[in-house]
């Protein structure tokens, strides 16, 4: 059975310190006895014997201290490994917590075009200046309506031309921002719709292109903002 002073790091260090300090004290005594012996003080033989005894005991203490020194290194290494494992586990848990917070933030945060995004997207789409577009309200949520208005402001800044649709347009089923055009639209309309989808998608918005034959205005881009898609 392993004695308790061999299992506990504190006890091992205490025993090791006892033998080390004892050895130092005995070596100090050895020096003192040898000095007294060389001074030819009465009882020099006794001093010589005491010096030899001190030396022998100091060596014995050093021998006894050695296994405790090795044991102390072993227990310290185990403690370091335990703390490293605990620290790694804490870092893993913290990373999971951060990922969960980011997931919840992405799930519940409203979709918003920042002023910088509006400026940059309008700059990218200005090459389609004069492109006709209209917007459909498919969701009554304030978040969807706000985003739809922001997209409209962005396109207005890009000098696209908004028109109020006089004819009926189908309400598309799906989540996110749905950009639709007629399959037989002219090349500029096709490129403009693709460019708008790319500009929004590259900034983290769920945007999808739909080709809808029922669209009456063949050369128009139709924007519909539906509910925010669920995060994966």
Contact 165, 134 (CB under 8 A): yes
Q: 211 falls in which pLDDT band (50, 70, 90)?
A: very high
Contact 119, 154 (CB under 8 A): no
pLDDT score, position 205: 93
Same domain, residue pair 96 and 120: no
What is the C-alpha separation between 16 and 96, in angstroms, rounded?
A: 43
What backbone torsions phi and psi does residue 228 show, to the nearest 5 degrees? Answer: -65, 130
Burial of 131 (0-12, 13-18, 19+ CB in 10 A): buried
Q: Which of 76, 108, 140 is the last residue of a domain?
A: 108
Same domain, residue pair 150 and 167: yes
Q: Which of 81, 108, 135 is the last residue of a domain?
A: 108
Alpha-carbon torsion, ordered 199, 202, 206, 207, to 10 deg: 30
Alpha-carbon torsion, ordered 61, 63, 69, 70, to 10 deg: -160
Q: 28 falls in which pLDDT band (50, 70, 90)?
A: confident
Residue 131, SS3 per DSSP: coil
Span 61-82, pLDDT tens digits: 888 777 878 877 777 777 788 8
* Number of domains making up the chain: 2
Residue-number span of the structural domain to which 168 is assigned: 115-225
Tokens 């918005």: give the residue: 205
């Amino acid at each position: 059975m392993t004695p308790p002073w061999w299992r506990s790091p504190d006890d091992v260090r205490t025993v090791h310190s006892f033998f080390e300090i004892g050895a130092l004290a005995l070596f100090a005594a050895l020096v003192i006895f040898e000095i007294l012996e060389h001074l030819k003080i009465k009882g020099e033989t006794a001093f010589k014997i005491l010096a030899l005894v001190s030396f022998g005991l100091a060596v014995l203490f050093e021998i006894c201290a050695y296994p405790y020194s090795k044991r102390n290194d072993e227990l310290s290494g185990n403690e370091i490994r335990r703390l490293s494992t605990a620290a790694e586990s804490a870092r893993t848990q913290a990373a999971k917590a951060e990922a969960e917070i980011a997931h919840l933030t992405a799930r519940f945060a409203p979709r918003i075009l920042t002023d910088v995004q509006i400026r940059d997207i309008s700059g990218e789409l200005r090459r389609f200046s004069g492109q006709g577009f209209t917007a459909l309200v498919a969701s009554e949520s304030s978040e969807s309506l706000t985003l739809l208005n922001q997209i409209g402001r962005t396109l207005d800044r890009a000098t696209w031309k908004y028109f109020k649709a006089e004819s009926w347009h189908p309400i598309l089923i799906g989540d996110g921002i749905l950009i639709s055009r007629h399959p037989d639209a002219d090349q500029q309309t096709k490129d403009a719709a693709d460019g708008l989808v790319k500009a929004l998608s590259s900034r983290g918005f769920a945007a999808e292109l739909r080709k809808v034959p029922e669209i009456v205005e063949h050369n128009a881009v139709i924007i519909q903002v539906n509910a925010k898609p669920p995060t994966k």
